[in-house]
Amino acid sequence: MSKTARRALPFAVLLAVGVLAGATLAGAEVRHVTIESRVDLLGGRPFGAAGAYEKLTGVVDFAFDPANRANGRIVDLERAPRNAAGFVEARATFMVLRPKRVARPGVALVEVSNRGGKAALPYFNGADWSHDPTSEAELGDGLLMRLGLTIVWVGWQFDVPPEPGLLRLEAPVARDGDRPIEGLVRCDFTVDRAVRTLALGHRGHVPYPLADPDHRDNVLTVRDGRLAPRTVVERRDWRFGSEVNGRVVEDPGHITMARGFEAGKIYELVYRARDPVVSGLGLAAIRDVIAYAKHDPQSLFPARLGVAFGVSQTGRFLRHFLYQGFNTDERGRQAFDGMLVHTAGAGRGSFNHRFAQPSRDAHRYSSFFYPTDLFPFTSRPQRDAETGREDGLAARPLDPTHWPRVFYTNTGYEYWGRAASLIHTSVDARRDVEPLPSERIYHLASAQHFVGPFPPPPGSRLPGAPAFRGNPLDFLPTLRALLVRLVEWVAAGREPPPSRYPRLDAGTLVPIERVRLPRIPGIALPRVVHQAHRLDFGPGWPEGVITVEPPRVGTPFPALVPQVDPLGNELGGVRGVELLAPLATYTPWNLRTGYPANADELVDFLGTWIPLSRTAADAARTGDARSAIADRYASRASYLEAARAAARSLVVEGFLLAEDTDRVVDHAARQWDWLIGAERDPVR
């Protein structure tokens, strides 16, 4: 075990032993916890000084007081059914990994589950993905357990697909007295291959019920691009239905068209829905589960401190959570002490409004104009001169002293595909805006939204270029180190590394037209970047009710991107071994080359991997302006020494755990061997 891991162990979360029957908790917002199973991890094998762990699964029952000011921002809570005590009830599935032996409560890590899944073990333990982590491969190297953390997952999203192992929240439907509530719901579809049927739910999620298949509000349009004009598809040409054994049957969860949906088009359906779920209870459920762990004397997974972790969708959830003041519970106590907000960009999300669709996100070329990328973007208050609004993420907490210690980590993709520059620039993009003293911003330079596979999979080679779709830059070792730094900051007050992100005053944050991408054969710099627009959802939007769908689209907020070095790799952020000892250019963007339309737009999530030429002669022959591998390293051994020196420097700076040095050097060696071949050492 590394010195870093040993140093963090005294801040472990150590849990009391629960009872399988669960516990009824008088006076708590978590009213009942039912443990349905308890299993020793790996047969009781110890995880370092933290000892053996066990896995608990079950159900949490919540009760929320509509009259409590901590719940005042939950849209439609007053329209939800109440129990005999006047509270609104909800229920969620949960899973907890906890140490079996308890000394005293420490730090609980609550992962806000992305669409019902579990990312913490793959991200921090290097584990295989699993809904029910059980095997050694699914638990990985045990970093989270060796740190003694209690890992908590609880359902917060009501529309999660009905798949085994996914976490979900059962939340009530709002009603207007005895009458159902109806409203507009929008679905959009970027169609890249011709199909005859499209699902209303995003990524397989459960859609809202259709109020009336023949209602005049049900309108389907088609357009050629993001901001292109819409054309209404005649109502007689499409229907609510799907194909079963070659026949079209009635299906309120799908739409179908006899002539098919054309590849290269964007289709958009607005339909009249009924029965909005009180989706904002998901925010309160996450708040109350950590309040239960920290403050309830009968807690089955007690904690002294709480750290939240969210990835992508749930990183945006945590920004939304903070903005709407959910870090103060019903009894006026602080919920989370720290947060790791990963790959959220500048977004929040569809988490707390009438007919919210929590899975909907926003990219340059999909999921257009949902209430995701909305002002404000920075924690510090700013004024939007165009609208006159003044606001900030930290402007309206219920208790200003409850603002947690927060790490915002974004890859390069979030700058190109999710307008991440807005979290640290002025609204007009003319000056830097400093994070709060309790915040750090870390840019994972040149990485795409998630770590791409290596070697590149078959079919990923881009035509006419020495490049591959998908970027294998491995930022997870950096993220592991940052989690340890955050736990140290929260539990012991140990200052983490200073923020590291591209800035205007350093010349490392620029408009896209000023990016100095070197000349690379077959590679062109994108001409577009994702922008957040001012959107008008109608007069009811301040109260969380959308009456205009699609929204009226106003002017965009300017989005900036990181400047690059002579190889085309990003500056201004945390540069991993791949950039400090480079063999390639790693871009966090990828163009829709080969798609049926809009080839100059951005592919969601993906970057590009462009290996350097092996020799100067190769570079000259192809017109590659980048320096060649042979000019940078005399041999495989010299390259690996450069990689190891880079790793050592990252350990000193706090961006790499000492125990991960061999991991990142081995990854570098694999790339060398794949690009050059061990038998070709030296390259000259």
pLDDT mean over 361-368: 96
Q: Give the whole-angstrom CA distance, residue 682 versus residue 635.
A: 4
pLDDT mean over 502-523: 98
DSSP codes, 595-654? SSS-TTSBPSS--EEEEPPSSHHHHHHHT--SPPHHHH-SSHHHHHHHHHHHHHHHHHHT
pLDDT mean over 653-673: 97
Partners of residue 315 on adjacent β-strands? none
CA torsion, points 516, 522, 525, 530, in degrees to nearest 10?
Answer: -150
Residue 659 pLDDT more than 50?
Answer: yes
What integer pLDDT is reported at residue 654 of this predicted model?
98
Q: Give the whole-angstrom CA distance, residue 551 versus residue 612.
A: 45
Report pLDDT digits (tens) over 272-307.
999 999 999 999 999 999 999 999 999 999 999 999
What integer pLDDT is reported at residue 55 of this predicted model?
98
Report pLDDT digits (tens) over 417-460.
999 999 999 999 999 999 999 999 999 999 999 999 999 999 99
Q: Give the whole-angstrom CA distance, residue 544 versus residue 77.
A: 12
What integer pLDDT is reported at residue 677 of this predicted model?
79
Residue 679 pLDDT more than 70?
Answer: no
Instruction: Give yes or no for a contact between 307 and 290, defined as CB atoms under 8 angstroms apart.
Output: no
β 107-112/150-154 pair status: parallel
Q: Give the whole-angstrom CA distance, residue 390 versus residue 367.
A: 27
> 0.85 exceeded by the pTM?
yes
β 107-112/305-311 pair status: parallel
Total residue length of the chain: 684
β 561-562/179-180 pair status: unpaired
Buried/exposed code over 503-528 (b: 16+ C-beta within 10 A; e: otherwise): bbeeebbbebeebebeebbebebbeb
Question: If we measure between CA atoms, which residue out of 524, 534, 535 comes closest to residue 589?
Answer: 524
Residue type for position 151: I
SS3 category, 54: strand
Burial of 335 (0-12, 13-18, 19+ CB in 10 A): buried
Other residues' Cβ atoms within 10 Å of the Cβ of residue 228: 12
pLDDT mean over 486-493: 98
Other residues' Cβ atoms within 10 Å of the Cβ of residue 249: 11
Residue 104 pLDDT more than 90?
Answer: no
What integer pLDDT is reported at residue 102 of this predicted model?
76
What integer pLDDT is reported at residue 269 of this predicted model?
98
Instruction: Give yes or no for a contact between 353 and 310, defined as CB atoms under 8 angstroms apart.
Output: no
Q: Which helix (H) or strand (E) holds 120?
A: helix 120-125
Which residue spans within 161-312 are E strands per DSSP?
Answer: 169-170, 175-176, 179-180, 182-191, 195-199, 219-223, 231-232, 238-244, 247-261, 265-274, 305-311
| Percent of the chain at pLDDT exceeding 70 | 95
What integer pLDDT is reported at residue 103 of this predicted model?
76
Q: Give the whole-angstrom CA distance, residue 422 versus residue 169.
A: 32
CA torsion, points 378, 380, 384, 388, in degrees to nearest 10?
Answer: 140
Q: Give the whole-angstrom CA distance, residue 302 versus residue 596.
A: 54
pLDDT mean over 105-126: 97
Report pLDDT digits (tens) over 573-618.
999 999 999 999 999 999 999 999 999 999 999 999 999 999 999 9
Report pLDDT digits (tens) over 66-99.
999 999 999 999 999 999 999 999 999 999 999 9
